Structure 1
Amino acid sequence: MAASMPANVEVQFINESKGRGLFARQEIKEGEAILDEKPLVSTQFLWNELYKYTACEYCLRSLETAEAMARRLTNNPALSLPHPECCALDPSEFVVCPQCQVLYCSEECRKASWDRYHQILCLGSSHHDSDHPLLRLQEIWRNIHYPPETASIMLICKMIAMVKQAEDPGHVITIFNKFVNNTVNEEEQIAHKLLGDQFKCQLELLRSTTAEILFDESIPQWFTPEGFQSLFALIGTNGQGIGSCSISVWVKNCEDLELPEDKKTELDDFIDQMYEELEKESGSFLNCEGSGLYELTSSCNHSCDPNAGITFPHNNHVLTLVALKPIQPEEEIYISYISECEMSRSRHSRQKILRENYLFTCRCRKCDFEADEPDVTSEEEMDSGDEDGSEKMDNL
Structure 2
Amino acid sequence: SLLKQIAEIKEEIKKIPLESRSTVNESSQVMSPEKLLEFNEKFPFASPALTRSSSPTRGRFVIAEKPIKKGDILFVEKPYAFVPLDHETSDSICGNCCAELSDLIYPCRECTKMLYCSKKCWKDSWEKYHKWECAGYNMEIWRQIGIAHLAIKVLLVSVTTDDILRFREVQNLVTNIDKQQDEDLIVHSI
TM-score of the pair, normalised by structure 1: 0.30
Query: SS of 1:7's equivalent?
Result: coil
CA RMSD of superposed structures (Å): 3.9
How far apart in 1 are the matches of 2:142 and 2:48? 44
The amino acid of 1:111's aligned partner reads K
C-alpha deviation, 1:44, in angstroms? 0.5
Q: Is the 8 A contact 2:111 2:138 kept in 1?
A: no
Q: Would the alpha carbon gap of residues 139 and 96 (structure 1) be closer, same or farther in structure 2, given more than 3 Å must change?
A: closer
**Which residue is equivalent to 1:176?**
170
Q: Which has more radius of gyration?
A: 1
How far apart in 2 are the matches of 1:155 and 1:53? 14
Note the alpha carbon deviations across 1:12-46, whole angstroms, 9 max, x for none. Answer: 12x11211111234x2243251424133321102x
**Deviation beyond 4 Å, 4+ runs, structure 1:** 59-63, 98-101, 135-138, 181-184
Q: Is the 8 A contact 2:49 2:68 kept in 1?
A: no
How far apart in 1 are the matches of 2:150 and 2:170? 12
Q: Would the alpha carbon gap of residues 52 and 20 (structure 1) be closer, same or farther in structure 2, given more than 3 Å must change?
A: closer
Counterparts of 1:374-393 in structure 2 under 5 Å? none
C-alpha deviation, 1:153, in angstroms? 2.5
- More strand by percentage: 1
Q: Is the 8 A contact 2:129 2:157 kept in 1?
A: no
How far apart in 2 are the matches of 1:141 and 1:3? 34
Note the alpha carbon deviations across 1:227-257, whole angstroms, 9 max, x for none. Answer: x92xx6xxxxxxxxxxxxxxxxxxxxxxxxx
Query: SS of 1:122's equivalent?
Result: helix
The amino acid of 1:122's aligned partner reads H
- Higher relative contact order (CA closer than 8 Å, sequence separation 6+): 1
Q: Would the alpha carbon gap of residues 114 and 17 (structure 1) be closer, same or farther in structure 2, given more than 3 Å must change?
A: farther
How many residue pairs match? The answer is 146
Is 1:16 equivalent to 2:56 in the alignment? yes
Note the alpha carbon deviations across 1:102-123, whole angstroms, 9 max, x for none. Answer: 312x22xx635644x5424334
How far apart in 2 are the matches of 1:37 and 1:184? 29
Flag structure 2 segments of 5+ consecutive residues without an equivalent: 1-32, 34-42
Query: SS of 2:67's equivalent?
Result: coil
Is 1:195 equivalent to 2:186 in the alignment? yes
The amino acid of 2:129's aligned partner reads L
Note the alpha carbon deviations across 1:51-74, whole angstroms, 9 max, x for none. Answer: 5752322355676xxxxxxxxxxx
**Which residue is equivalent to 1:31?**
70
**Which residue is equivalent to 1:167?**
162
C-alpha deviation, 1:156, in angstroms? 1.5
C-alpha deviation, 1:100, in angstroms? 5.1
How far apart in 2 are the matches of 1:175 and 1:194? 22
Is 1:185 equivalent to 2:185 in the alignment? no
**Which residue is equivalent to 1:95?**
106
Query: SS of 2:63's equivalent?
Result: strand
The amino acid of 2:167's aligned partner reads I
How far apart in 2 are the matches of 1:152 and 1:98? 25
The amino acid of 1:121's aligned partner reads Y
Query: SS of 1:4's equivalent?
Result: coil
Query: SS of 2:74's equivalent?
Result: strand
Q: Percent identity?
A: 14
C-alpha deviation, 1:180, in angstroms? 2.6
